[in-house]
Amino acid sequence: LSNASSSASAAPAEVVEAELTWTGERFERGVQIAIDDDGRISAVGELGLPAGRRLPGRALLPGLVNAHSHAFQRAMRGRGETFPEGSGCFWSWREGMVELVGRLDPAHFHDLYAAAFREMRAAGITTVGEFHYLHHTTPEAEDFALDEHVLAAAEEVGIRLVLLEAYYASGGIGQPLTGPLRRLRGADPASYWRQMDRLARQLASRRQSLGAVAHSIRAATPGEMAELYGEARRRGLVFHLHLEEQQREIDDTVAAYGQRPMALLLEALPSCEGVTAVHCTHTAPAEMARYLDAGGRVCICPLTEGNLGDGIADLPAIHRAARGRLSLGTDSNARISMLEEMRWLEYVQRLERRQRGVLHDAGGSGARPLLRAATEDGATTLGVAAGRIAAGCWADLLVVDLAATTLAGWDDDNLLPALVFGTAEEVVAATCVAGAWQEHRSPGLG
């Protein structure tokens, strides 16, 4: 950046200068970032200000954005990985998940969320989109008490939270929710919005916001989807749903409605602006093209889809048709690493197509579009001003230790691909959320 860009005239609360700063296309030297009292970036560039926080031997990037998580599933890590009766599948995994839903009490739930969010932050994640459907204390209660634990756990850790509050009304198309799954239930869209209003009053405004969710076509009817989406748009909220992760979901939807889930969604909604469909593993190409034309976005969760044996989405088609509308999530949290999510997004495509650089930008870079999916496009998908080091965005930052052994041999030009293809949380020295810093590994920062 040759010139400073600025959105504020007041003196900054803090000026940061790292050895290298990611400015959107490349790492640059001599870049200062001014942060205001609210925790937003007020200016970026060669500002000529005294830097209160100098970071030699460090590179600054936008904090990573995890666009799709179910934090409680962190408790399943290392479980369900033995197969005494032969191979498992998504549905055998789901039985273990339902069992977990049945036994989580509020205290355990709270601790689990705080631990998962802490692990995310230590992995460089500064924003999490928590797709939250486990609402009630017991199958009998309809208290939404666990929602408040998600907010509180995120605040304990200081991570930015977009609470993607999920509407979940049926346990399969036309089927009631039974047993422990009654802890998920929402009565109708009207009561859903009453709970959203209650939650809106409890948010920590610098770090928390809401998004609307219909869990899936298994959990909400097309009519309910349309009603939820309409009100979400009226309120300026993003709208997320799971879509076409599993062939059985598609078969059930065709049997019930005569159409696949994506076709049904396209028919139900007037537009797909603000919509993020999670997975789209088995989406038909023509329907994907219509969805992207209508403004839709896609979130892929490569490690979870790999762990569950879901399949591989048609990524080149999504990337060609809708550059910048692809995000990434850690989903089941069997592993929490956005750096791994980035490279596995590309690697499964390489394995399937026996090509390299399946995803690349106009300049030929394979790493830049992966970083973009894990930062600015994730932030857009979640409706937050983050994911970029730019004036007006929240000061949500990732500090990389350039002395990490896994980065040995880096230079200014290969640093990004070295990070994306060769490292994980060991390079994360610190993170900053809305101007509040936290060290993770190395002492002596600042």
Q: Which of residues 323-352 bind Zn ion (CB under 5 A)?
A: 331
Q: Exposed, middle or buried: residue 411 (CB in 10 Å: 0-12, 13-18, 19+)?
A: exposed
Is residue 331 annotated as a catalytic residue, yes or no? yes
CA atoms within 13 A on the CB side of 225: 28
Nearer to Zn ion, 22 or 131 (CB): 131
Nearer to Zn ion, 165 or 331 (CB): 331
Q: Would you give the binding string for Zn ion spanning residues 289-328, x where CB under 5 A is met?
A: ----------------------------------------
Nearer to Zn ion, 130 or 331 (CB): 331
Q: Which of residues 28-57 bind Zn ion (CB under 5 A)?
A: none
Is residue 110 annotated as a catalytic residue, yes or no? no
How far is 373 from 218, CA to CA, in rounded Å?
27
Catalytic residue among 36, 252, 331, 377: 331
Q: Would you give the binding string for Zn ion spanning residues 410-439, x where CB under 5 A is met?
A: ------------------------------
Catalytic residue among 135, 136, 279, 319: 279
How far is 216 from 368, CA to CA, in rounded Å?
31
Closest contact distance (angstroms) between CB of 231 and Zn ion is 22
Other CB atoms within 10 A of residue 342 CB: 25
Closest contact distance (angstroms) between CB of 43 and Zn ion is 38
Starting at the edge strand found earlier in the chain, the sheet holding 275-279 runs 64-69, 125-132, 160-167, 208-214, 239-243, 275-279, 297-300, 326-328
Number of residues that bind Zn ion (CB under 5 A): 1
Closest contact distance (angstroms) between CB of 140 and Zn ion is 26
Closest contact distance (angstroms) between CB of 278 and Zn ion is 6
121: left (phi over 0), alpha (psi -120 to 50) or beta: alpha
Closest contact distance (angstroms) between CB of 310 and Zn ion is 11
Beta bridge partners of residue 327, listed in sequence order? 299
- Residue in the shown chain whose Cβ atom is closest to Zn ion: 331
Residue 356: C-alpha distances to residues 28, 55, 323, 348 (Å): 27, 35, 19, 10
How far is 94 from 108, CA to CA, in rounded Å?
20
**48 phi and psi angles, rounded to 5 deg:** 65, 30
- Cα dihedral 10, 11, 14, 16, rounded to 10, equals 100
Nearer to Zn ion, 336 or 432 (CB): 336
Closest contact distance (angstroms) between CB of 242 and Zn ion is 5
CB 244 within 8 A of CB 296: no
Closest listed residue to residue 328, CA positions, set 356, 361, 304, 307: 304
Residues at the interface with Zn ion (CB under 5 A): 331
- Which residues form the catalytic set? 279, 331
